[in-house]
Amino acid sequence: HGAAELDETGTEALPRRTPAPAWIPTAKGEEGDFCLRSSDCAAGLCCARHFWSKICKPVLREGQVCTRHRRKGSHGLEIFQRCQCAEGLACRLQREHGPADASRLHTCQRH
C-alpha cells in the first residue's frame, strides 16, 4: 500500500511542477523596485545600494554626475550608489574653464 507509483519505465513518477508562486516577480523591476542584481531591473536601470537595501536606479546619461572609484572594492562602502554611465560614456573629471581647483566633480562624458 505505501509503495510509490511507477511509470512504464519502472522509475518513480516525479510530481508535476506547479507554477511559480505569485510573489516571485515575472517582469523586470522598474525604477525604485527592490532588486538583488542588475539583471532584475528593466532596460536602462541598474541595481544599486540605497541605504541598506538595493533598488533599481537609472543608468547615468551624458552630463550627469557619476562616481569615480579610485580603489577596487570601494563601491561597496557607499550608502547611496549610483549606476554606471550609459554605453559610450565614461566617468571623467568635469572640464571647467575656471580656477584649477574649482570642481572635483566627475560627469558622464563621450569617449
Query: What is the pTM assigned to this prediction?
Result: 0.65
User: Where does the pLDDT of residue 71 fall: very low under 50, low under 70, confident under 90, or very high at 90 and above?
Assistant: low
pLDDT of amino acid 15: 59
H or E stretch including 50?
strand 45-50
Query: How large is the average pLDDT for residues 56-85?
Result: 84
pLDDT surpasses 80 at 98: no
Going by C-beta distance under 8 Å and a sequence separation of 6 or more, which residues neighbour residue 55? 29, 31, 32, 33, 34, 35, 47, 48
Domains of the chain in sequence order:
28-58 (2.10.80.10), 61-70+88-110 (no CATH)
Q: What percent of the chain has pLDDT over 70?
A: 61
pLDDT score for 68: 79
Q: Which three cell numbers stand for residue 91?
A: 566617468
pLDDT attached to residue 66: 95
Which of 27, 28, 60, 26 is closest to 42 using CA atoms? 28
Question: DSSP character for 72?
Answer: T
pLDDT band at 4 (very low <50, low <70, confident <90, very high): low
CA proximity to 44, closest of 90, 11, 86, 101: 86
Task: Return the higher-pLDDT residue of 94 and 70.
Answer: 94
Does residue 24 surpass a pLDDT of 70? Answer: no
Q: How far is Cα 42 from Cα 55, in angstroms, rounded to an integer?
A: 11
